[in-house]
Structure 1
Amino acid sequence: MLEARVIHGEPRRSVISIIGMAGLEYRVKEILQYLGKTILGLGKADFDTMSNEDLKELLSKFLEERRYIIVLDDIWKIEVWDDLKAAFPDAENGSRIVLTTRFKDVALHADPRSPPHELCLLSDEDSWKLLSKKVCLEWNSIRTLPPWSEELGRQIVKKCGGLPLAIVVLGGLLSRKEASYSEWLKVLQSVHWQLTQDPTLCADILALSYHDLPYYLKPCFLYLGLFPEDFEISARRLILLWVAEGFVQPRGQEPLEDVAEDYLEELIGRSMIQVAARKSNGRIKTCSIHDLLREFAMSKAKEDRFLEVIHQDVKLKSFTRGRHLAVHCRVPPALKNTSKVRSLLCFDLNEPVFREIKKFKLLRVLDLEGIHIARLDSAVGKLVHLRYLGLRGTWLKTLPSSVCYLVKLQTLDLRSTLVSPIPAVVIKLQQLRHLFFNELGEIVPSPPPSRTFLPNLKTLHGLSINGTESVENVLNKLTNLRELGLCGELKLQEKALGMWILNLKGLHCLKLHARKLSPPAAAIPKLDFSSHTHLHKLHLVGLMNKTQKFPPNLTELSLQNSFLTEDPMEKLEKLPNLRVLKLKQSSYVGKEMICSSGGFPQLKILKLSFLYSVEMWRIAEKAMCNLRELEIVECKRLKIVPRGLWPVTSLCSLRLGYMPLDIEMKVQERQGENWYRIEHKLPF
């Protein structure tokens, strides 16, 4: 891929940036002198009489007459590139600069028109190839690897998590060991210890990235050490935890959650965290941390008495009284000196979960997600500093009434619990910002005690409403919501629901799921979204007579069980900012879809699934001109005319699921430049 970008492309001098983890930093003067020595043949005496500006001018004049390629390894700062770029003239002759960095903002600054190449961690197979190559090189290729080495070598590199730096360090170590099974086994059993023994080889290189972090990102990074190894962390969960812990600095009137999301993007841009999965709109869904960086975070955090992780083998004598505590064992030991603990995150626990919870007097975060508990100790109400209570996946049956005393609570997560109906005490939590229900419990239809009912609530998800009073007397008092998710017999409260949603001018995301226990099918209330300028994400599940008046700035739309009989593409293709469209099961029950020329100007992702009645999809020239990903699942009558997907020249990814065999064969036959052509009618 890099070779193609170096050799082909625009005639302008372009910068091809490679983003990845860990390396070493150089100074501008050293780089310039090295270029002067290797390109111009200058010596030390010349450098003594020349300033940096003189040297840049000399290099520029020399290179201006030539087609050149220059590789700059590990540029840390934007300022470094700014100091160097004057030495690299653009003579429109196809010159190239390959720049490696661990910071995405440096790459984008160096050349905004050239997308950076983001390195992936190595596969198990490539990791083993790198290790064996390193060992053989150190042996000067005189010796070959012993027959038993592959089995142990593959286990060793697996512990490196695909990080080339760690693999090369261990390869050098193994090459200096006796070539025996027992010696390699010792290395396998002490991989992480071995990697920290010579700081110049690995640990200090990783530490450089940490020490370069701005002060506000350091606690956010160290906090990741609380999560188990290879754990995929929900981005939303992490953001809300950071806010609850007080790590996020106010930035004008911007919501703290948005600032925290920028923190996460910045840590990813610095290659300190890896994206495990992204949402279809490009935002981060889950993230993870490499084992070596996690080990560093835990070591540094323990040294600073920032956190403590208790697992099965921990010796309580080594407990450092860290302010943030994670428990990774099924039977936790009895802990003392818990009065200063600010956070308690539990993983893989059996009951009982810290029976004497009242001892954690200063607790800000109690996260029990995934821990099965029948009841929560009423003493939880004594944790008056609590800001985050995570009970998702606990299958808790009741919420103690003492929760009403948690006056500082910001997040209450009751997803995948059996709490029903929603307890009335929740409406007393005046500082609550994010409330997640389990879609089982109906709202308590009693009016709130005052008009300042949950005044700070920004997120309300998973609420089931089936009565006739809960919207008009209770929910319509919530006017500051940014995210709303409702389910139930929504049509019963169509007028009240319509008025409430109309007044939610700051709404960013809306999910409505209409459902009934008996026929006819549940219907979505008729709503007018034309005045919702901030609403960019809309998911609707339920019967619609015709397509709604959609928000003008909508970027993501998902429809399901809409049973539309008129082609929805006619209206949807006119939405100027739509980037993601998902037409799911029974969203459209007609036979033909038409995408006209110029339609869907910004659409990047299109997903069609379980559209059993659609037989023909017409795609005109210049339709969906920016489409990158197309997914088609269970659309077995579909044929694409008149020229298949040929008009969609921007398509990069086509995914087919449960489709007839011949369509998959046609795609396989067309590997290469035009692999996405589908021109023939498909069988039933």
Structure 2
Amino acid sequence: MVVETIFSAIGKKAGELAVKQIIKEGSRLSRVREDLEWIEIEMRRIQSCLIDAEAIQLKTEVVSDFIKEIWNLAYDVQDIIDMYFSKLISSWSRWKGLLGIRHMIIGRAFSKEVEGIRKRVKEITEARKDFEADARSSSLEAVTTYPRQTFPHANEPNVVGINAIVEDLKQKVLDKDLHHPVVSITGTAGLGKTTLARKVYNSVRQHFDCAAWICVSERPNEQQLLRDIAGQVGLEKDKMEQNFETNMFELLSTKRYVIVIDDIWRTTAWDALKIHLPTNSENESRIILTSRNEEVGRYVGGPKSLFKLQPLDLKTSRQLFYKMIPADPQNIDETQYSPQLKNIGEQILEKCGGLPLAILLAAGLLRGRSVSASAWKGVLEGILGMGQDNDKWFDIFALSYKDLPLYLKPCFLYFGLFPEDRQIEVFELINLWAAEGFIRGTEVREVEEEGDDYLNQLIARNLVQVNQVSWSGRVASVQIHDILHNLCIREANEINFFNIHIDAVNCHSICKVRRVAIHGSDIGTYLSLHLQTSRVRAMLCFFPEARPEGWIYQQKKKEKMEGRVTKNLLQDSKSIRLLRIENGIISSSVLTEICNLRQLTYLKLAKKWELVELPSAISNLKSLLTLDLQESWKIYLPNVIWSMKQLRHILLPPDCCTPKYRWDSLGKFQRVEFSLTNLQTLSGLPGELFEADWLYKMNSLRTLEVNKPMETRSGDIIEVLSDGAPVSHKLEDLRLCANISNLSELKSNSLNLSRYENLCNLDLFRIKMIELPQHDKLPPNLTILTLTHTYIEKDPMETLKKLQKLKILKLLFESYEGKDLVCSGEHGDFPELEVLEIDDLPNIEMVVVEEEGMPRLRDFKINPSWQCSKVPETRIPDRLRNIIVMTTE
């Protein structure tokens, strides 16, 4: 829970060695110990007050003020603990164990602050009596928690009643006689415009030469949107450097493209985009747009382009509602619903008004509760009792948040810190929650596993949408609907949970805000508003990626100006625990200040066009759990990184090295004490900066990605991985990528991963070999295998067909140099394979799948090599001809 998280700082601070020593040796500071014990006990009582207050669905102004006062009290307690204990520790360090008068002064000041806290706690305790009865009478029935699981709606949203609409729009998009290239889908927020557009897009994109999807939202960055389009339609890297708009226009003029422009609010956004998009219909290109504003659709495509999406009728609403209530939507049994339940359901549906998002959220409120009249009636009364907004659907949206257990509320609110319509990587999201202390591991479960459970509960309630699912079946990326994004911001403002800075500050009590997100603007503008930053615990900066003409000069000029204000910000924000900077200024002076943030637990720096030289002072960050640099262009990495034993996740970019002219300060030739025993993720590991034997100490590793695995300081990483015992029994994900200029040939018998029983995903890139190792040398539970530039001469199918758990096989870019690929039809060959992708194999002439081969295959793609556009001949069973996709370019 949030309050529990805040008050856990007490135990953490008291547990620090210097504080323990002060309290132990200084009898005159016994009052400090007593105050700490009182705070810890009393704050847990206050937490129960918050739980009772949150249970009241219909909140009066008195109750809302009470909740806000508890939050403010929690913030103030955290500030007092952080401030005085840092002073005690600092004083102890300087006096080297001598208990001086300064300690007494600090201790007395701390006790004086606690006296003020005592008075406020007494007032809160008295106020609790005023609404305890209401809390008991109006709280909804407890909801069952949801263990880790996969969701049927992960790959395809659970919608009903739109298949006919999808088919009509598909025919319209593919209609060669369409006189205007635009199809406009308009309607109220929450009707499912994006879902409909996605279904149409996925069903037609294979008919076009190239495709792109962009989300415009309310405050678009048109330059970044154009760059997104350019990247998706395949504009070459060198043509992205200068005049990319012109180069993109020329490319699209020669292609038949389909582009989705999702959630466009204003005609001005279209005016900025259209001049760079050839919209003549001669090559039958198409633009699909979605908008809440019918006039925008009319302006862009004319009245004939409009498709007005309507609310669901009652029959379709019922289908969706009853489909989404069970934990497993594929196992629906409507007979379990009595007439009394159906009557209550009809009243809930009436409140939903045919809006799919409202229906999904209402079903999410019921899911996990008992199928009983009392449980359903409690939800109905909760919806009717909200009555806080003129929006007829808002009561359901608000109740979906209010009904969350206290420990899930901050996790949901965190989505509001990200830009609207942002697709969020689950790996990053859970690490942010962990850095904040919202989730904690147990003796039997890792913190990441707890985070998965929390996210699953939010997904099960339909508050969070799944975008992508990983090879293992876990959710990989998520987002929330923009209506719910606005709800997050609204609720966060009520308790000063965070502040979003775009062009103006939208928080009425910024002085106590603990989290700040800067969207699009710069840090200098934020500071110019004379905001206090000393209380900030988390800062997330989302700056646009843009490289206009003359960008180098502009960037240097901006760096001199903004680098100073960023440095000043960090100097004044010593309590920051979480820092995320995306495309902002990351100068050496800024990095120096970052290394002084001793409480930092999470650091992400994403700088796509410039070098980031990480200083050796990074080792000062003794609390750092996650270091994410993978979205940076190039990193200079100091050796001290291998001694930061508390790190759990390190993510590095492909280009990572030691500075040439600073070997002495970075210790390139000094022996390093490797201490990363807690590390779970090591992505982008530069082999030349690593010693292969260090792997033996990484027994918690789950994900390992190594660049240049055969070029380490000592030994060969592949040899270590193939040694008698696995380096980590927990290893699930392994990617090995050799240097393109040094393709050392790997002997087929030297790779032995058979002892890695949990290794499910294996990616070999530029690992040259004549033939694959025997199947019994590969991981026994291998689920996905990707081979790229492996130059195998012997048909790999003979080995791979014996992998009993293999579901996805990708043979890419010169992975195989032979002419024929043959899958026999013998029983037991490829028993689980579902996806086969063959791409850019220049010598391939024939692909054969015998009659009984690959019995579960559902996705079969063959793309010819750019060196030879000839499509290979295929001999496959009729059952596979319906699923095979073969491109001609």
Determine if the TM-score, normalized by the shorter chain, exceeds 0.5.
Answer: yes
Q: Which runs of 5+ in 1 are unaligned?
A: 1-75, 81-102, 133-148, 171-195, 661-684
Measure how far apart 1:440 and its partner are.
2.1
What residue number does 1:640 align with? 874
Match of 1:544 in 2: 769
Could you say which residue in structure 2 is the equivalent of 1:471? Answer: 691
Q: For residue 474 of structure 1, report the CA deviation from its aligned partner.
A: 4.5
In 1, the alpha carbon distance for the partners of 2:536 and 2:160 equals: 37
Q: Tell me what 1:562 maps to.
A: 790
The share of aligned pairs that are identical, in percent, is 31
What amino acid is aligned across from residue 288 of structure 1 in structure 2? Q
Question: Unaligned regions of 5+ residues in structure 2, if any?
Answer: 1-139, 167-182, 192-292, 301-305, 313-350, 357-386, 545-557, 659-666
Alignment check: 8 A CA contact 1:629 1:654 kept: yes
The answer to whether 1:487 aligns with 2:527 is no
Tell me the amino acid that sits aligned with residue 488 of structure 1. Answer: K
Matches of 2:148 and 2:705, distance apart in 1:
39
- Whether 1:119 and 2:310 are equivalent positions in the alignment is no
Partner of 1:620: 850
* Residue 360 of structure 1, aligned match among 573, 595, 600: 573
* Residue aligned with 1:345, SS: strand
Secondary structure of the residue that 1:480 maps to in structure 2? Answer: coil
Cα 1:117/1:585, change in 2 over 3 Å: closer
User: How many Å apart are 1:563 and its aligned residue?
Assistant: 1.0
Q: Which residue of 1 aligns with 2:245?
A: none
Instruction: Specify whether residues 524 and 622 from structure 1 end up closer, same or farther in structure 2 by C-alpha distance, changes over 3 A only.
Output: closer
| Mapped partners of 1:199, 1:655: distance in 2 | 50
Question: Match for residue 415 of structure 1?
Answer: 630
Q: How big is the shift at 1:523?
A: 8.5
Aligned mates of 2:188, 2:740 — CA distance in 1: 57
Matched residue SS, 1:457 = coil
Match of 2:801 among 559, 566, 573: 573
1:305 aligns with 2:515: no
Q: Counterparts of 2:820 and 2:614 in 1: how far apart (Å)? A: 51
In the superposition, relative to structure 1, how do residues 316 and 128 fare at CA in structure 2: closer, same or farther (>3 Å)?
A: closer
User: Given the alignment of the two structures, is residue 505 of structure 1 paired with residue 728 of structure 2, yes or no?
Assistant: yes
Residue 682 of structure 2 is aligned with which of 445, 460, 473? 460
Tell whether the 8 Å contact from 2:499 to 2:505 is kept in structure 1 after alignment: no
Match of 1:590 in 2: 818
1:332 corresponds to which of 525, 542, 565: 525
Residues 404 and 429, structure 1, Cα contact 8 Å, conserved in 2: yes
Per the TM alignment, residue 280 of structure 1 is displaced from its structure 2 partner at its CA by: 4.7
Q: 2: CA distance between counterparts of 1:121 and 1:406?
A: 54
- The equivalent of 1:86 in structure 2 is none
Instruction: For 1:129-144, list aligned pairs within 5 A.
Output: none
Query: Which has the bigger relative contact order, CA under 8 A and spacing at least 6?
Result: 2
2:697/2:727 contact within 8 Å kept: no
2:482 to 283, 287, 291: 291
Asked if 1 retains the 8 angstrom alpha-carbon contact of 2:150 and 2:473, the reply is no
| Equivalent residues in 2 for 1:222-241, closer than 5 Å | 222-241=413-432
What amino acid maps onto 1:415 in structure 2? Q
Question: 1:368 is paired with a residue of what secondary structure?
Answer: strand
Structure 1 residue 477, shift from structure 2 partner? 3.7
**1:140-185: CA deviation from partner (whole Å, max 9, x where unpaired):** xxxxxxxxx94257699x9x99997999789xxxxxxxxxxxxxxx
Distance change >3 Å, CA 212–CA 318, structure 1 → 2: closer
Give 1 or 2: higher helix fraction: 2
Q: Is the 8 A contact 1:121 1:162 kept in 2?
A: no
Where do 1:98-247 residues align within 5 Å? 118-119=158-159, 125-128=184-187, 150-151=294-295, 198-199=389-390, 201-247=392-438
The residue that corresponds to 1:600 in the other structure is: 830
Partner of 1:118, secondary structure, is coil
Q: Normalising by structure 2, report the TM-score.
A: 0.51
Conservation of the 8 A alpha-carbon contact between 1:442 and 1:463: no
- Residue 559 of structure 1 aligns to a residue whose secondary structure is strand
Deviations 1:598-644 (A, max 9, x none): 42111222211101212222212232222222222225342221xx3
Contact 2:186 2:294 in 1 (8 A): no
2:410 counterpart SS class: helix
Distance 2:353 2:749 in 1: 58
- Provide closer, same or farther for how the CA distance between residues 654 and 428 of structure 1 changes in structure 2, counting only shifts above 3 A: same
Q: SS at 2:848's partner residue?
A: strand
* Alpha-carbon separation, structure 2, partners of 1:384 and 1:306: 23
Which amino acid in structure 2 is aligned with residue 360 of structure 1? S
Decide whether the 8 Å contact of 2:746 with 2:769 is kept in 1. Answer: no
Change (3 A) 1:508 1:526: same
Q: Does the aligned pair in 1 maintain the 2:758–2:781 contact within 8 Å?
A: yes
1:297 to partner: Cα distance? 0.7
Letter matched to residue 560 of structure 1: T
Structure 1 residue 544: Cα displacement: 1.3
Equivalent pair of 1:512/1:524 in contact (CA under 8 Å)? no
1:501-528, Cα deviation, whole Å (9 max, x unpaired): 6431321111001124267779999320
Paired amino acid for 1:229: E
Q: Is the 8 A contact 1:380 1:402 kept in 2?
A: no
What SS is found at the alignment partner of 1:340?
A: coil
Q: How many residues align?
A: 509
Q: Which residue of 2 aligns with 1:527?
A: 751
Structure 2 vs 1, CA of residues 647 and 462 (structure 1 numbering), >3 Å: closer, same or farther? Answer: same
Q: What's the offset of the Cα at 1:648?
A: 3.8
Counterpart code for 1:533: E
Measure, in 2, the Cα distance between the counterparts of 1:106 and 1:355: 42
> What is the Cα deviation at residue 497 of structure 1?
3.9
* Counterpart in the other structure of 1:347: 542
Q: Distance in 1 between matches of 2:161 and 2:481?
A: 10
